[in-house]
Amino acid sequence: MRTRQNSILLIAVAAAVPYGVLLQGFLGGSWYTFFHPYSLGMVFGLSAWFLFCASLLLAARVRFLERRLGQDRLLGLHRYAALSGMVLGCLHAAFKTFFFPEFTVAHYTGGAGFGLILLLAIPSAVVMAAMVPDRPVWLGRCKQRIRSAVRYSAMKGLHNLLPAAVAILMVHVLLAAPTAENRLRPLLILATGLPALSLWLDHKVLRPLRAARGTITQVAALSPSLLSVSFRISRPLRAIPGQFGYFRVRSPRTGREEHPLTFAAPLENRNGELVVRREGRWTEALAFCSAGSEIRLDGPYGAFTFDEERPMLWIAGGVGITPFCARIRAAAQGSAPLRHPVTLLWSAATAQEMPFREEFLAYAAGEHRFCFIPYLTRESGGRRLTPPDIAAALRVLEEAGGAPCSVWFCGSRPLRAVVKAACVAAGVFRGRFHYEDFSV
Ligand SMILES: Cc1cc2nc3c(=O)[nH]c(=O)nc-3n(C[C@H](O)[C@H](O)[C@H](O)COP(=O)(O)OP(=O)(O)OC[C@H]3O[C@@H](n4cnc5c(N)ncnc54)[C@H](O)[C@@H]3O)c2cc1C
Protein backbone atom coordinates (compact mmCIF):
# COMPACT_ATOMS: atom_id res chain seq x y z
CA MET A 1 0.00 0.00 0.00
CA ARG A 2 2.86 2.33 0.83
CA THR A 3 4.15 1.60 -2.67
CA ARG A 4 0.69 2.58 -3.96
CA GLN A 5 0.76 5.87 -2.05
CA ASN A 6 4.25 6.55 -3.39
CA SER A 7 3.02 5.69 -6.89
CA ILE A 8 0.08 8.12 -6.58
CA LEU A 9 2.52 10.83 -5.44
CA LEU A 10 4.92 10.03 -8.27
CA ILE A 11 2.15 10.05 -10.88
CA ALA A 12 0.79 13.35 -9.48
CA VAL A 13 4.27 14.88 -9.75
CA ALA A 14 4.69 13.44 -13.27
CA ALA A 15 1.33 14.98 -14.26
CA ALA A 16 2.28 18.35 -12.75
CA VAL A 17 5.18 18.69 -15.22
CA PRO A 18 3.15 18.75 -18.49
CA TYR A 19 0.49 20.85 -16.74
CA GLY A 20 3.14 23.37 -15.67
CA VAL A 21 4.60 23.40 -19.19
CA LEU A 22 1.11 23.97 -20.65
CA LEU A 23 0.43 26.92 -18.34
CA GLN A 24 3.89 28.38 -18.86
CA GLY A 25 3.37 28.07 -22.63
CA PHE A 26 0.18 30.14 -22.40
CA LEU A 27 1.00 32.54 -19.55
CA GLY A 28 4.79 32.78 -19.91
CA GLY A 29 5.90 36.39 -19.59
CA SER A 30 2.52 37.61 -18.35
CA TRP A 31 2.00 35.77 -15.04
CA TYR A 32 1.40 39.22 -13.44
CA THR A 33 -1.94 39.36 -15.31
CA PHE A 34 -2.99 35.99 -13.83
CA PHE A 35 -6.06 37.49 -12.07
CA HIS A 36 -7.27 39.39 -15.12
CA PRO A 37 -10.62 37.82 -16.23
CA TYR A 38 -9.08 36.98 -19.64
CA SER A 39 -6.17 35.07 -18.08
CA LEU A 40 -8.33 33.45 -15.43
CA GLY A 41 -10.80 32.25 -18.08
CA MET A 42 -7.86 30.82 -20.05
CA VAL A 43 -6.37 29.09 -16.98
CA PHE A 44 -9.74 27.50 -16.13
CA GLY A 45 -10.14 26.36 -19.73
CA LEU A 46 -6.60 24.94 -20.01
CA SER A 47 -6.94 23.16 -16.65
CA ALA A 48 -10.25 21.64 -17.77
CA TRP A 49 -8.62 20.53 -21.03
CA PHE A 50 -5.70 18.96 -19.17
CA LEU A 51 -8.03 17.14 -16.75
CA PHE A 52 -10.21 15.75 -19.56
CA CYS A 53 -7.09 14.41 -21.30
CA ALA A 54 -5.91 12.89 -18.00
CA SER A 55 -9.36 11.39 -17.44
CA LEU A 56 -9.28 9.73 -20.88
CA LEU A 57 -5.79 8.39 -20.31
CA LEU A 58 -6.68 6.98 -16.88
CA ALA A 59 -9.55 4.97 -18.37
CA ALA A 60 -7.43 3.49 -21.17
CA ARG A 61 -6.21 0.48 -19.09
CA VAL A 62 -2.56 1.57 -19.32
CA ARG A 63 -0.75 -1.42 -17.81
CA PHE A 64 2.09 0.63 -16.27
CA LEU A 65 -0.39 2.74 -14.29
CA GLU A 66 -2.75 -0.15 -13.57
CA ARG A 67 -0.07 -2.35 -12.00
CA ARG A 68 0.93 0.47 -9.64
CA LEU A 69 -2.48 1.76 -8.62
CA GLY A 70 -4.99 -0.99 -9.35
CA GLN A 71 -7.94 -0.67 -11.74
CA ASP A 72 -10.37 0.54 -9.05
CA ARG A 73 -8.15 3.46 -8.01
CA LEU A 74 -7.34 4.33 -11.62
CA LEU A 75 -11.04 4.54 -12.40
CA GLY A 76 -11.59 6.54 -9.19
CA LEU A 77 -8.97 9.04 -10.37
CA HIS A 78 -10.59 9.00 -13.84
CA ARG A 79 -13.92 10.07 -12.26
CA TYR A 80 -12.40 12.78 -10.10
CA ALA A 81 -10.32 14.16 -13.00
CA ALA A 82 -13.50 14.31 -15.14
CA LEU A 83 -15.51 15.90 -12.32
CA SER A 84 -12.86 18.55 -11.62
CA GLY A 85 -12.59 19.16 -15.38
CA MET A 86 -16.35 19.76 -15.52
CA VAL A 87 -16.26 22.27 -12.65
CA LEU A 88 -13.36 24.15 -14.26
CA GLY A 89 -15.02 23.89 -17.68
CA CYS A 90 -18.16 25.55 -16.24
CA LEU A 91 -16.02 28.35 -14.74
CA HIS A 92 -14.26 28.78 -18.09
CA ALA A 93 -17.60 28.97 -19.94
CA ALA A 94 -18.98 31.44 -17.37
CA PHE A 95 -15.92 33.73 -17.58
CA LYS A 96 -15.83 33.69 -21.37
CA THR A 97 -19.57 34.29 -21.73
CA PHE A 98 -19.69 37.04 -19.11
CA PHE A 99 -16.53 38.98 -19.98
CA PHE A 100 -16.07 38.22 -23.70
CA PRO A 101 -19.53 37.51 -25.15
CA GLU A 102 -18.54 36.97 -28.79
CA PHE A 103 -19.80 33.87 -30.56
CA THR A 104 -17.33 32.23 -32.91
CA VAL A 105 -16.72 28.70 -34.24
CA ALA A 106 -14.44 28.17 -31.23
CA HIS A 107 -17.35 28.91 -28.87
CA TYR A 108 -19.67 26.50 -30.65
CA THR A 109 -17.13 23.64 -30.72
CA GLY A 110 -16.43 24.26 -27.01
CA GLY A 111 -20.14 24.12 -26.25
CA ALA A 112 -20.59 20.92 -28.28
CA GLY A 113 -17.61 19.10 -26.70
CA PHE A 114 -18.44 20.18 -23.18
CA GLY A 115 -22.16 19.46 -23.63
CA LEU A 116 -21.32 15.92 -24.80
CA ILE A 117 -19.15 15.39 -21.71
CA LEU A 118 -21.99 16.53 -19.43
CA LEU A 119 -24.41 14.24 -21.27
CA LEU A 120 -22.13 11.26 -20.62
CA ALA A 121 -21.05 12.16 -17.13
CA ILE A 122 -24.37 12.62 -15.39
CA PRO A 123 -25.92 9.20 -16.19
CA SER A 124 -22.49 7.52 -15.77
CA ALA A 125 -22.15 8.95 -12.26
CA VAL A 126 -25.48 7.33 -11.36
CA VAL A 127 -25.26 4.00 -13.20
CA MET A 128 -21.55 3.14 -13.37
CA ALA A 129 -19.99 4.76 -10.34
CA ALA A 130 -21.08 4.95 -6.74
CA MET A 131 -20.66 8.74 -6.87
CA VAL A 132 -24.25 9.61 -6.03
CA PRO A 133 -24.92 9.10 -2.28
CA ASP A 134 -27.67 6.74 -1.01
CA ARG A 135 -28.99 9.37 1.42
CA PRO A 136 -31.43 11.08 1.70
CA VAL A 137 -33.70 8.08 1.14
CA TRP A 138 -35.47 9.60 -1.89
CA LEU A 139 -32.12 10.09 -3.63
CA GLY A 140 -31.10 6.49 -2.90
CA ARG A 141 -34.45 5.24 -4.29
CA CYS A 142 -34.08 7.36 -7.47
CA LYS A 143 -30.56 6.01 -7.95
CA GLN A 144 -31.73 2.39 -7.52
CA ARG A 145 -34.58 2.92 -10.03
CA ILE A 146 -32.24 4.38 -12.63
CA ARG A 147 -29.70 1.61 -12.01
CA SER A 148 -32.27 -1.11 -12.54
CA ALA A 149 -33.70 0.57 -15.65
CA VAL A 150 -30.40 1.36 -17.41
CA ARG A 151 -27.98 -1.48 -18.10
CA TYR A 152 -24.39 -0.98 -16.96
CA SER A 153 -23.07 -2.22 -20.31
CA ALA A 154 -25.33 0.21 -22.24
CA MET A 155 -23.84 3.03 -20.19
CA LYS A 156 -20.37 1.67 -20.85
CA GLY A 157 -21.15 1.82 -24.59
CA LEU A 158 -22.33 5.42 -24.30
CA HIS A 159 -19.17 6.22 -22.37
CA ASN A 160 -17.18 5.38 -25.52
CA LEU A 161 -18.20 8.82 -26.83
CA LEU A 162 -15.76 10.43 -24.35
CA PRO A 163 -12.87 10.48 -26.88
CA ALA A 164 -15.18 12.09 -29.44
CA ALA A 165 -15.92 14.84 -26.89
CA VAL A 166 -12.19 15.29 -26.18
CA ALA A 167 -11.48 15.45 -29.95
CA ILE A 168 -14.14 18.19 -30.36
CA LEU A 169 -12.63 20.05 -27.39
CA MET A 170 -9.20 19.78 -29.01
CA VAL A 171 -10.59 21.55 -32.10
CA HIS A 172 -12.11 24.18 -29.77
CA VAL A 173 -8.81 24.84 -27.99
CA LEU A 174 -6.84 24.88 -31.26
CA LEU A 175 -9.28 27.45 -32.71
CA ALA A 176 -9.31 29.63 -29.58
CA ALA A 177 -7.74 33.07 -30.05
CA PRO A 178 -5.02 32.71 -27.35
CA THR A 179 -3.81 29.41 -28.90
CA ALA A 180 -3.32 31.06 -32.27
CA GLU A 181 -1.05 33.73 -30.75
CA ASN A 182 2.16 31.73 -31.15
CA ARG A 183 3.32 28.45 -32.71
CA LEU A 184 4.25 26.71 -29.50
CA ARG A 185 0.71 26.73 -28.08
CA PRO A 186 -0.99 24.53 -30.73
CA LEU A 187 1.93 22.09 -30.34
CA LEU A 188 1.36 21.96 -26.58
CA ILE A 189 -2.33 21.24 -27.11
CA LEU A 190 -1.56 18.47 -29.60
CA ALA A 191 1.11 17.07 -27.25
CA THR A 192 -1.46 16.70 -24.44
CA GLY A 193 -4.47 15.59 -26.53
CA LEU A 194 -2.97 13.18 -29.06
CA PRO A 195 -1.31 10.74 -26.59
CA ALA A 196 -4.55 10.45 -24.60
CA LEU A 197 -6.63 9.90 -27.75
CA SER A 198 -4.13 7.38 -29.18
CA LEU A 199 -4.04 5.35 -25.95
CA TRP A 200 -7.83 5.26 -25.87
CA LEU A 201 -7.93 4.16 -29.51
CA ASP A 202 -5.44 1.41 -28.72
CA HIS A 203 -7.58 0.37 -25.75
CA LYS A 204 -10.82 0.20 -27.71
CA VAL A 205 -9.68 -0.95 -31.17
CA LEU A 206 -6.39 -2.86 -30.89
CA ARG A 207 -6.66 -4.36 -27.40
CA PRO A 208 -9.66 -6.58 -28.30
CA LEU A 209 -7.57 -7.95 -31.19
CA ARG A 210 -4.71 -8.71 -28.78
CA ALA A 211 -6.98 -10.44 -26.22
CA ALA A 212 -6.27 -14.13 -25.60
CA ARG A 213 -8.73 -16.49 -27.28
CA GLY A 214 -10.05 -19.63 -25.72
CA THR A 215 -13.05 -21.80 -24.97
CA ILE A 216 -15.14 -22.68 -21.96
CA THR A 217 -14.47 -26.29 -20.96
CA GLN A 218 -17.10 -26.63 -18.23
CA VAL A 219 -19.79 -24.66 -16.43
CA ALA A 220 -20.91 -26.19 -13.13
CA ALA A 221 -23.14 -24.97 -10.30
CA LEU A 222 -21.21 -24.85 -7.03
CA SER A 223 -24.16 -23.60 -4.98
CA PRO A 224 -27.53 -21.92 -5.66
CA SER A 225 -25.74 -18.64 -6.36
CA LEU A 226 -22.20 -19.64 -7.41
CA LEU A 227 -20.93 -21.05 -10.70
CA SER A 228 -17.58 -22.55 -11.55
CA VAL A 229 -16.51 -21.72 -15.10
CA SER A 230 -13.46 -23.60 -16.37
CA PHE A 231 -11.74 -22.43 -19.53
CA ARG A 232 -8.73 -23.07 -21.74
CA ILE A 233 -6.87 -20.33 -23.59
CA SER A 234 -4.82 -20.71 -26.74
CA ARG A 235 -1.63 -19.06 -25.44
CA PRO A 236 0.01 -19.08 -22.01
CA LEU A 237 -0.65 -16.09 -19.71
CA ARG A 238 1.02 -15.42 -16.38
CA ALA A 239 -1.30 -14.17 -13.67
CA ILE A 240 -0.33 -13.52 -10.05
CA PRO A 241 -2.89 -14.94 -7.57
CA GLY A 242 -5.39 -12.17 -6.80
CA GLN A 243 -5.44 -10.78 -10.35
CA PHE A 244 -8.42 -10.63 -12.67
CA GLY A 245 -9.18 -10.48 -16.37
CA TYR A 246 -11.85 -8.91 -18.58
CA PHE A 247 -13.88 -11.73 -20.15
CA ARG A 248 -16.17 -11.80 -23.16
CA VAL A 249 -18.13 -14.96 -23.89
CA ARG A 250 -19.24 -15.16 -27.49
CA SER A 251 -22.68 -16.68 -27.24
CA PRO A 252 -26.12 -15.33 -28.21
CA ARG A 253 -27.15 -15.16 -24.53
CA THR A 254 -24.15 -13.21 -23.23
CA GLY A 255 -23.79 -10.87 -26.22
CA ARG A 256 -20.56 -8.91 -26.67
CA GLU A 257 -20.26 -7.52 -23.14
CA GLU A 258 -16.95 -7.57 -21.31
CA HIS A 259 -16.93 -8.31 -17.55
CA PRO A 260 -14.12 -8.33 -14.97
CA LEU A 261 -13.68 -11.67 -13.16
CA THR A 262 -10.92 -12.85 -10.83
CA PHE A 263 -8.92 -16.01 -11.56
CA ALA A 264 -9.97 -18.48 -8.86
CA ALA A 265 -7.03 -20.79 -9.57
CA PRO A 266 -3.54 -20.39 -11.02
CA LEU A 267 -3.48 -20.41 -14.84
CA GLU A 268 -1.87 -23.84 -15.23
CA ASN A 269 -1.05 -25.16 -18.71
CA ARG A 270 -3.38 -22.55 -20.21
CA ASN A 271 -6.30 -23.83 -18.08
CA GLY A 272 -8.11 -21.55 -15.66
CA GLU A 273 -11.15 -21.38 -13.43
CA LEU A 274 -13.53 -18.61 -12.46
CA VAL A 275 -16.02 -18.60 -9.61
CA VAL A 276 -18.95 -16.40 -10.53
CA ARG A 277 -21.87 -15.20 -8.46
CA ARG A 278 -25.16 -15.08 -10.38
CA GLU A 279 -25.62 -11.39 -9.86
CA GLY A 280 -27.51 -10.05 -12.86
CA ARG A 281 -28.35 -10.54 -16.52
CA TRP A 282 -24.87 -11.44 -17.83
CA THR A 283 -23.76 -13.72 -15.01
CA GLU A 284 -27.17 -15.48 -15.17
CA ALA A 285 -26.66 -16.01 -18.90
CA LEU A 286 -23.23 -17.51 -18.16
CA ALA A 287 -24.96 -20.38 -16.33
CA PHE A 288 -26.48 -21.45 -19.66
CA CYS A 289 -23.25 -21.36 -21.67
CA SER A 290 -21.99 -24.75 -22.68
CA ALA A 291 -18.53 -26.26 -23.11
CA GLY A 292 -17.06 -25.06 -26.39
CA SER A 293 -18.36 -21.46 -26.14
CA GLU A 294 -15.65 -19.09 -27.33
CA ILE A 295 -14.10 -16.60 -24.91
CA ARG A 296 -11.81 -13.58 -25.18
CA LEU A 297 -9.65 -12.68 -22.21
CA ASP A 298 -7.94 -9.33 -21.70
CA GLY A 299 -5.60 -9.38 -18.75
CA PRO A 300 -4.30 -10.11 -16.26
CA TYR A 301 -4.87 -6.92 -14.29
CA GLY A 302 -5.02 -5.96 -10.63
CA ALA A 303 -2.83 -4.99 -7.72
CA PHE A 304 -4.59 -7.11 -5.06
CA THR A 305 -1.63 -9.47 -5.12
CA PHE A 306 -0.64 -9.97 -1.46
CA ASP A 307 2.38 -9.00 0.59
CA GLU A 308 4.46 -12.11 1.08
CA GLU A 309 6.96 -10.37 3.39
CA ARG A 310 4.80 -10.42 6.55
CA PRO A 311 1.95 -12.38 8.21
CA MET A 312 -1.42 -11.75 6.57
CA LEU A 313 -5.01 -11.72 7.70
CA TRP A 314 -7.34 -12.51 4.78
CA ILE A 315 -11.02 -11.68 5.10
CA ALA A 316 -13.58 -12.68 2.45
CA GLY A 317 -17.30 -12.09 2.17
CA GLY A 318 -19.21 -14.48 -0.16
CA VAL A 319 -17.79 -14.63 -3.68
CA GLY A 320 -14.98 -12.33 -2.48
CA ILE A 321 -13.17 -15.59 -1.73
CA THR A 322 -11.89 -15.86 -5.36
CA PRO A 323 -8.54 -14.00 -5.00
CA PHE A 324 -7.74 -15.98 -1.82
CA CYS A 325 -8.81 -19.21 -3.49
CA ALA A 326 -6.23 -18.63 -6.25
CA ARG A 327 -3.50 -17.93 -3.66
CA ILE A 328 -4.35 -20.99 -1.51
CA ARG A 329 -4.39 -23.24 -4.58
CA ALA A 330 -1.01 -21.87 -5.72
CA ALA A 331 0.35 -22.67 -2.23
CA ALA A 332 -1.29 -26.11 -2.13
CA GLN A 333 0.13 -26.99 -5.57
CA GLY A 334 3.60 -26.01 -4.32
CA SER A 335 4.18 -23.24 -6.89
CA ALA A 336 4.04 -20.46 -4.24
CA PRO A 337 4.31 -21.81 -0.66
CA LEU A 338 3.24 -19.50 2.18
CA ARG A 339 6.27 -17.86 3.79
CA HIS A 340 4.56 -16.37 6.85
CA PRO A 341 1.48 -17.25 8.91
CA VAL A 342 -1.86 -16.54 7.20
CA THR A 343 -5.37 -16.64 8.69
CA LEU A 344 -8.43 -16.68 6.43
CA LEU A 345 -11.81 -15.57 7.83
CA TRP A 346 -14.55 -16.33 5.29
CA SER A 347 -18.11 -15.19 5.87
CA ALA A 348 -20.99 -16.63 3.80
CA ALA A 349 -24.73 -17.04 4.34
CA THR A 350 -24.96 -20.84 4.47
CA ALA A 351 -22.74 -23.90 4.33
CA GLN A 352 -23.99 -24.48 0.75
CA GLU A 353 -22.66 -21.04 -0.22
CA MET A 354 -19.20 -22.01 1.05
CA PRO A 355 -18.18 -24.56 -1.58
CA PHE A 356 -14.44 -24.64 -0.84
CA ARG A 357 -14.78 -25.18 2.90
CA GLU A 358 -13.52 -28.78 2.88
CA GLU A 359 -10.68 -27.94 0.48
CA PHE A 360 -9.44 -25.11 2.74
CA LEU A 361 -9.84 -27.15 5.95
CA ALA A 362 -7.83 -29.97 4.36
CA TYR A 363 -5.09 -27.53 3.34
CA ALA A 364 -5.05 -26.00 6.85
CA ALA A 365 -4.70 -29.48 8.38
CA GLY A 366 -1.46 -30.06 6.46
CA GLU A 367 0.04 -26.53 6.56
CA HIS A 368 0.86 -25.14 10.01
CA ARG A 369 1.19 -21.59 8.63
CA PHE A 370 -2.42 -21.53 7.44
CA CYS A 371 -5.51 -21.17 9.62
CA PHE A 372 -9.07 -21.10 8.24
CA ILE A 373 -12.11 -19.91 10.20
CA PRO A 374 -15.50 -20.01 8.41
CA TYR A 375 -18.43 -17.82 9.51
CA LEU A 376 -21.96 -18.84 8.49
CA THR A 377 -24.40 -16.04 9.06
CA ARG A 378 -27.73 -17.77 8.31
CA GLU A 379 -27.12 -21.29 9.61
CA SER A 380 -28.49 -22.25 13.00
CA GLY A 381 -25.52 -22.16 15.33
CA GLY A 382 -23.66 -19.96 12.83
CA ARG A 383 -22.62 -16.40 13.56
CA ARG A 384 -21.45 -13.14 12.05
CA LEU A 385 -17.86 -12.01 11.81
CA THR A 386 -17.42 -9.30 14.46
CA PRO A 387 -14.71 -6.72 15.26
CA PRO A 388 -13.51 -8.74 18.31
CA ASP A 389 -12.98 -11.78 15.99
CA ILE A 390 -10.83 -9.63 13.73
CA ALA A 391 -8.87 -8.17 16.67
CA ALA A 392 -8.27 -11.66 18.09
CA ALA A 393 -7.12 -13.02 14.71
CA LEU A 394 -4.72 -10.08 14.33
CA ARG A 395 -3.27 -10.64 17.81
CA VAL A 396 -2.68 -14.36 17.26
CA LEU A 397 -1.12 -13.76 13.83
CA GLU A 398 1.23 -11.05 15.06
CA GLU A 399 2.38 -13.24 17.97
CA ALA A 400 2.95 -16.22 15.65
CA GLY A 401 4.57 -14.19 12.87
CA GLY A 402 6.61 -11.89 15.13
CA ALA A 403 5.79 -8.88 12.91
CA PRO A 404 2.88 -6.52 12.23
CA CYS A 405 0.59 -8.17 9.69
CA SER A 406 -1.23 -6.79 6.67
CA VAL A 407 -4.96 -7.23 6.13
CA TRP A 408 -6.48 -8.20 2.76
CA PHE A 409 -10.22 -7.86 2.37
CA CYS A 410 -12.50 -8.79 -0.52
CA GLY A 411 -16.27 -8.54 -0.08
CA SER A 412 -19.19 -6.17 0.10
CA ARG A 413 -18.85 -2.49 1.03
CA PRO A 414 -20.84 -2.78 4.30
CA LEU A 415 -18.59 -5.64 5.48
CA ARG A 416 -15.55 -3.63 4.41
CA ALA A 417 -16.67 -0.77 6.70
CA VAL A 418 -16.85 -3.22 9.67
CA VAL A 419 -13.47 -4.76 8.87
CA LYS A 420 -11.78 -1.42 8.33
CA ALA A 421 -13.07 0.00 11.63
CA ALA A 422 -11.85 -3.12 13.47
CA CYS A 423 -8.44 -2.86 11.79
CA VAL A 424 -8.04 0.82 12.63
CA ALA A 425 -9.01 0.09 16.26
CA ALA A 426 -6.35 -2.64 16.32
CA GLY A 427 -3.69 -0.28 14.94
CA VAL A 428 -3.67 -1.53 11.33
CA PHE A 429 -3.71 1.66 9.32
CA ARG A 430 -4.04 2.43 5.61
CA GLY A 431 -0.59 1.28 4.62
CA ARG A 432 -1.36 -2.29 5.72
CA PHE A 433 -5.06 -2.48 4.84
CA HIS A 434 -5.81 -3.63 1.28
CA TYR A 435 -9.18 -4.23 -0.28
CA GLU A 436 -10.96 -5.23 -3.46
CA ASP A 437 -14.72 -4.78 -3.62
CA PHE A 438 -15.39 -6.05 -7.13
CA SER A 439 -16.52 -2.70 -8.44
CA VAL A 440 -14.75 -0.36 -10.85
C1 LIG B 1 -11.84 -6.40 -10.38
C2 LIG B 1 -13.12 -7.17 -10.33
C3 LIG B 1 -13.09 -8.54 -10.13
C4 LIG B 1 -14.28 -9.26 -10.05
N5 LIG B 1 -14.24 -10.61 -9.84
C6 LIG B 1 -15.39 -11.32 -9.72
C7 LIG B 1 -15.37 -12.72 -9.47
O8 LIG B 1 -14.32 -13.36 -9.38
N9 LIG B 1 -16.56 -13.35 -9.35
C10 LIG B 1 -17.75 -12.69 -9.45
O11 LIG B 1 -18.80 -13.31 -9.32
N12 LIG B 1 -17.80 -11.37 -9.69
C13 LIG B 1 -16.64 -10.65 -9.84
N14 LIG B 1 -16.69 -9.32 -10.10
C15 LIG B 1 -18.00 -8.69 -10.23
C16 LIG B 1 -18.56 -8.95 -11.63
O17 LIG B 1 -17.77 -8.30 -12.61
C18 LIG B 1 -20.01 -8.43 -11.71
O19 LIG B 1 -20.75 -9.13 -10.76
C20 LIG B 1 -20.61 -8.69 -13.05
O21 LIG B 1 -20.00 -7.85 -14.02
C22 LIG B 1 -22.11 -8.40 -12.98
O23 LIG B 1 -22.68 -8.40 -14.25
P24 LIG B 1 -24.24 -8.75 -14.42
O25 LIG B 1 -24.72 -8.28 -15.74
O26 LIG B 1 -24.45 -10.20 -14.12
O27 LIG B 1 -24.94 -7.97 -13.23
P28 LIG B 1 -25.59 -6.52 -13.18
O29 LIG B 1 -26.76 -6.64 -12.26
O30 LIG B 1 -25.79 -5.95 -14.54
O31 LIG B 1 -24.44 -5.67 -12.49
C32 LIG B 1 -24.18 -5.73 -11.11
C33 LIG B 1 -23.00 -4.82 -10.83
O34 LIG B 1 -21.83 -5.37 -11.45
C35 LIG B 1 -21.04 -4.32 -12.04
N36 LIG B 1 -20.98 -4.53 -13.50
C37 LIG B 1 -21.96 -4.90 -14.32
N38 LIG B 1 -21.52 -5.02 -15.58
C39 LIG B 1 -20.23 -4.69 -15.56
C40 LIG B 1 -19.20 -4.58 -16.57
N41 LIG B 1 -19.46 -4.86 -17.86
N42 LIG B 1 -17.97 -4.19 -16.19
C43 LIG B 1 -17.69 -3.90 -14.89
N44 LIG B 1 -18.60 -3.99 -13.90
C45 LIG B 1 -19.85 -4.37 -14.23
C46 LIG B 1 -21.71 -3.02 -11.70
O47 LIG B 1 -21.15 -2.51 -10.49
C48 LIG B 1 -23.14 -3.41 -11.46
O49 LIG B 1 -23.79 -2.54 -10.58
C50 LIG B 1 -15.52 -8.58 -10.19
C51 LIG B 1 -15.54 -7.21 -10.42
C52 LIG B 1 -14.37 -6.52 -10.49
C53 LIG B 1 -14.40 -5.04 -10.73
**Full 3-state SS string of the chain:** CHHHHHHHHHHHHHHHHHHHHHHHHHHCCCHHHCCCHHHHHHHHHHHHHHHHHHHHHHCCCCHHHHHHHCHHHHHHHHHHHHHHHHHHHHHHHHHHHHHCCCCCHHHHHHHHHHHHHHHHHHHHHHHCCCCCCCCCHHHHHHHHHHHHHCCHHHHHHHHCCHHHHHHHHHHHHHHCCCHHHCCHHHHHHHHHHHHHHHHHHHHHHHHHHHCEEEEEEEEEECCCCEEEEEEEECCCCCCCCCCEEEEEEEECCCECCCEEEEECCCCECCEEEEEEECCCHHHHHHCCCCCCCEEEEEEEECCCCCCCCCCEEEEEEHHHHHHHHHHHHHHHCCCCCCCCCEEEEEEECCCCCCCCHHHHHHHHHHCCCEEEEEEECCCCCCCCCCHHHHHHHHHHHHHHHCCCCEEEEECCHHHHHHHHHHHHHCCCCHHHEEEECCCC
User: Which ligand 1 atom sits nearest the alpha carbon of residue 260?
Assistant: 17
Distance CA 150, CA 27 (A): 44
Rounded to the nearest whole angstrom, what is the distance from the C-alpha of residue 274 to the centroid of ligand 1? Answer: 13
Rounded to the nearest whole angstrom, what is the distance from the C-alpha of residue 185 to the centroid of ligand 1? Answer: 43
pLDDT reported for residue 326: 98
pLDDT reported for residue 196: 96
Rounded to the nearest whole angstrom, what is the distance from the C-alpha of residue 438 to the centroid of ligand 1? Answer: 7
User: Which ligand 1 atom sits nearest the alpha carbon of residue 261?
Assistant: 5
Q: Is 142 left (phi over 0), alpha (psi -120 to 50) or beta?
A: alpha
Q: Which of 279, 324, 439 to mutate to test the pocket of ligand 1 (most atoms within 8 A of CB)?
A: 279
Rounded to the nearest whole angstrom, what is the distance from the C-alpha of residue 429 to the centroid of ligand 1? Answer: 28
User: Which ligand 1 atom sits nearest the alpha carbon of residue 153?
Assistant: 41
- Note whether 159 and 120 are within 8 A (CB): yes
Rounded to the nearest whole angstrom, what is the distance from the C-alpha of residue 22 to the centroid of ligand 1? Answer: 38
Instruction: Choose among 276, 271, 294: nearest CA to 228.
Output: 276
Rounded to the nearest whole angstrom, what is the distance from the C-alpha of residue 154 to the centroid of ligand 1? Answer: 14
> Which residues have C-beta atoms less than 6 Å from ligand 1?
71, 152-153, 156, 244, 257-262, 274-277, 279-283, 319, 322, 438-440
The residue nearest atom 38 of ligand 1, judged by CA position, is 152
What is the distance in angstroms between the CA of the first residue and the CA of the last residue of the chain?
18
Distance CA 185, CA 170 (A): 12
pLDDT reported for residue 2: 54
Rounded to the nearest whole angstrom, what is the distance from the C-alpha of residue 260 to the centroid of ligand 1? Answer: 6
Rounded to the nearest whole angstrom, what is the distance from the C-alpha of residue 241 to the centroid of ligand 1? Answer: 19
Long-range contacts of 375-383 (CB under 8 A, 24+ apart): 375/345, 375/346, 375/347, 375/348, 376/347, 376/348, 376/349, 376/350, 376/351, 377/347, 377/348, 377/349, 378/349, 378/350, 379/350, 379/351, 382/350
pLDDT reported for residue 50: 97
Rounded to the nearest whole angstrom, what is the distance from the C-alpha of residue 379 to the centroid of ligand 1? Answer: 27
Distance CA 103, CA 107 (A): 6
| Partners of residue 434 on adjacent β-strands | 408
Is the Cα torsion angle 395, 396, 399, 404 positive or negative in sign? Answer: negative
pLDDT reported for residue 168: 97
- Note whether 85 and 192 are within 8 A (CB): no
Domains assigned to the chain: 2-209 (1.20.120), 211-301 (2.40.30.10), 312-436 (3.40.50.80)
- Note whether 327 and 292 are within 8 A (CB): no
Q: Which of 254, 283, 434 to mutate to test the pocket of ligand 1 (most atoms within 8 A of CB)?
A: 283
Q: Which of 134, 273, 439 to mutate to test the pocket of ligand 1 (most atoms within 8 A of CB)?
A: 439
Q: Which of 146, 152, 219, 356 to mutate to test the pocket of ligand 1 (most atoms within 8 A of CB)?
A: 152
Give the pLDDT of the chain (440 residues) as one tens digit per residue. Answer: 456 677 778 888 888 999 999 999 998 878 788 888 888 999 999 999 999 999 999 999 998 888 888 888 888 899 999 999 999 999 999 998 888 877 888 889 999 999 999 998 888 887 776 667 777 888 888 878 887 888 888 888 888 899 999 999 999 999 998 899 889 999 999 999 999 999 999 999 999 999 999 999 999 999 999 999 999 999 999 999 999 999 999 998 998 899 999 999 999 889 999 999 999 999 999 999 999 999 999 989 999 999 999 999 999 999 999 999 999 999 999 999 999 999 999 999 999 999 999 999 999 999 999 999 999 999 888 899 999 999 999 999 999 988 899 999 999 989 999 999 999 999 887 789 999 988 76
pTM (global) more than 0.75? yes
Rounded to the nearest whole angstrom, what is the distance from the C-alpha of residue 278 to the centroid of ligand 1? Answer: 10
Instruction: Choose among 203, 106, 97, 131: nearest CA to 160.
Output: 203
User: Which ligand 1 atom sits nearest the alpha carbon of residue 436?
Assistant: 1
Instruction: Choose among 237, 242, 280: nearest CA to 261.
Output: 242
The residue nearest atom 31 of ligand 1, judged by CA position, is 280
Rounded to the nearest whole angstrom, what is the distance from the C-alpha of residue 252 to the centroid of ligand 1? Answer: 19
Give me the amino acid identity at 76: G
User: Which ligand 1 atom sits nearest the alpha carbon of residue 147?
Assistant: 49
Please confirm whether the linkage preceding 123 is cis (ω < 30° from 0): no
Rounded to the nearest whole angstrom, what is the distance from the C-alpha of residue 326 to the centroid of ligand 1? Answer: 18
Distance CA 195, CA 201 (A): 10
What are the φ and ψ backbone dihedral angles of 424, each rounded to 5 degrees?
-60, -40
The residue nearest atom 15 of ligand 1, judged by CA position, is 438
The residue nearest atom 48 of ligand 1, judged by CA position, is 152
- Note whether 391 and 422 are within 8 A (CB): yes
CA 221 from centre of chain? 27
Alpha carbon separation from 166 to 95, 147, 391 (Å, rounded): 21, 26, 49
pLDDT reported for residue 49: 97
User: Which ligand 1 atom sits nearest the alpha carbon of residue 276?
Assistant: 11
Judging by beta carbons within 10 Å of its beta carbon (0-12, 13-18, 19+), is residue 114 exposed, middle or buried?
Answer: buried
